[in-house]
Amino acid sequence: MLSEDIKILNRLGKQFIPDITKPQVPGPFKGRPEISFHQIDEDALVSLCPTGAISKAPTSIDMGKCVMCGECSFAYPEKIKFTTDYKLATNVRERLIIAEGDNHPIVLDANNVRNEIHNLFGRSIKLREISAAGSNADEAELNACGNPNFDMGRFGIEFLASPRHCDGIVITGPISENMAEAVQVCYDAVPDPKILILAGTDAISGGIFAGSGALNRSFLEKYKVDLFVPGNPPHPLTFVNGVLELIKRKH
């Protein structure tokens, strides 16, 4: 019944986020950390991190290794505070390392973006997602990017099934030995020029699996990564805003 459909539409209202670059996220979300100059026992702080994401002198957190467990901020709240800034994606790996006093946003380096990315993908980009031993947490959040709330399809960003119809791949998971060949085959199937995105801590550094003999991350030594999207799992706003910045889509 049409009248019923109209009633439902009226009740639901507009579900999409009108300006994807500006929404606030609730407090429990852990985004970009801020590290103060407060004096603490740095060795104790470093030792409590399960992934070796924290370094000392100066105290810093590598967001490419952080699994957002929150232990550091629980133990040293006067030293480390996680903000709700979800704009964490960048194309420079070193920019994921936040040192004490670094209270500025994480951004992409425009000079590090290939020209063809802007020229070819500015209005439409199709991606193939590869779960390379992922936990399904990263994958679930990437799926959410296309839901009526985040609605990345309105910007021409979509996940497709066939890599032959795509402009790039998004890897989630730490890349296990038995997924290494599949990642390579999928990447090779994408026509040039192609984009490589790592989504989630596991993909960027191996996360809690880093150093495991069950991983084979040699694929990442061969190609330039176009976008690192931190998070464990990454928030849909982190992914969508990161891709929009990469392709310079006017949103």
Which residues are at the interface with ligand SF4 (CB under 6 A)? 48-51, 53-54, 61, 66-72
Which is closer to ligand SF4, CB of 49 or CB of 130? 49
Which is closer to ligand SF4, CB of 48 or CB of 140? 48
- Closest approach, Cβ 51 to ligand SF4, in A, equals 5
DSSP the chain: -HHHHHHHHHHH---S-S-TTS----TT---SEEE------HHHHHHH-TTS-EETTTTEEETTT-----HHHHH-TTTEEE-------BS-GGGGEEETT--S-----GGGS-HHHHHHHSS-EEEEEEESS--SHHHHHHHHTTSTTT-GGGGTEEE-S-GGG-SEEEEES--BHHHHHHHHHHHHHSPSS-EEEEESHHHHH-GGGTT-TTB--GGGGTS--SEEE--SSPPHHHHHHHHHHHHT---
Which is closer to ligand SF4, CB of 72 or CB of 215? 72
- Closest approach, Cβ 83 to ligand SF4, in A, equals 13
Which is closer to ligand SF4, CB of 72 or CB of 247? 72
- Closest approach, Cβ 27 to ligand SF4, in A, equals 15
- Closest approach, Cβ 33 to ligand SF4, in A, equals 7
